[in-house]
Amino acid sequence: MTSYVAFLMFPALLILILAGFPIAFSMISVALVAGYLQFGDGVIFQLLSKMDDVATNSVLAAVPLFIFIGAMLERSGIAERLFDAVHVWTRRVPGSLGVSAVLLGTIFAAASGVVGATETVIGMLAVPIMLKHAYDKSLISGTICASGSLGTVIPPSITVIVLAPVANVSVGDLFAGLLFPGLVMAALFIAYVVGIAMLKPAFAPREEEPPVLSISQKIRMTVFALVPTMALIFTVLGTILLGIATPTEAAACGAAGTLILSLAYRTFTWGILWNALRRTASITAMILLIVLGGNMFAGVFFASGGMDSVQSLLSTLGLSGAGAVTAILVLAFLAGFVLDLISVVLILIPLAMPIVTGYGVDPVWFAVTFLVVLQTSYLTPPMAPSIFYLRAITPPEITLRHMYRGVLPFIGMQLVTLVLVILFPGLVLWLPEQMSGPSW
């Protein structure tokens, strides 16, 4: 009876999701029904304890603060200044507008960690000017989708904030472990854009008459736009990696920093603040409800003996540690087609972590590898969420066919990053070992 109820939870969840029910309510409903069948009225107390766990989790308090940072950067015009400051240095590089988009995605991801906001801002800034300069529409689509997706693997990341307590690993260690793979991926994106611009100049024409700016003008423009944002990134990410602040404290300082920047740039209005707060409240409510549903689902699955059954099944199949990890990563990739990233984390990570740690796999390495796989599924057609974000902000002349074709080379770059992470675990583990900060 125990394993029977536990194993039926996943098909029931998939049926509800495919039927169009919200993911959070689907997980809560399945947990409630399965728990009642297994434990009777006692499931109510178990689910109430999960609500208390989520409500009192101090790490999750960073979620609304990071979302607020992204919303303020998006709506206050700071991102537009950043794009101009970056582009002034890349203007003579082949594929300069694409390179600028990737660099802006890296910077914006490091400041906010919100994937949707990153892609929306970059797309709104870069797509019109890339179309104006006759860039290939597939290259435009792939570059914007890939740049926006960096919010998953460039710390700080909202997905990491949610994943860390579920996986029982340090947020600081995960941020440190993600840093090099994220930067490698961004570098591969840039290399591809430059390479395609050199091999096929018609795909990324050079700007005909670039404005002539003196070095002093470029430096002043950079200092005015880039240095304050770098200070904001250090306030958020640097203080976490150095062990100076917890993620929640760093996020609070970052939120205050975005307000100060918008005041300094004279872009602050009460309307912008109200819109940012409203967007923050809406996204936070959605994320935390999904977190609650995931905790309830995992709690009932574990209590029903589902984990023992899974481990027995793996032993029966004769899977080694590498085989089990591969199976979980493939499942995560497939789940990423139909679920948002946080839902995949909350459904699979509670199941996966005891298995991989039981085989002696480093939890930080596995969590980073898991996130790289998730980011790849985020970009992979036909259900790629990044494509649907882009579809909402692009003109009709850029079609879904352009988007599907455009993301394929960048998926290849993501797979190269995944192979590097698997072959060279030190790419993930070296920096956390050097930082050896406190566990939060």
**In the predicted model, what is the mean pLDDT of residues 144-159?**
82
Q: What is the pLDDT of residue 339?
A: 67
**In the predicted model, what is the mean pLDDT of residues 270-276?**
87
Q: Encoding tokens for residue 263?
A: 């005041």
Q: Which residues contact residue 329 at a Cβ distance below 8 angstroms, ignoring those fewer than 6 apart?
A: 369, 370, 373
Helix (H) / strand (E) containing 203: none
Q: Residue 329's CB: how many other CB atoms inside 10 A?
A: 21
Q: Encoding tokens for residue 293?
A: 């549903």
Percent of the chain with pLDDT over 70: 88
The residue ranking higher by pLDDT, 419 or 340, is 419
**In the predicted model, what is the mean pLDDT of residues 148-156?**
80
Q: What is the pLDDT of residue 428?
A: 92
Handedness of CA 9, 13, 19, 24 (dihedral sign): positive
The pLDDT tens digits of the residues spanning 224-241 come to: 777 887 888 888 777 777
Model confidence at 317, pLDDT cuts 50, 70, 90, reads low
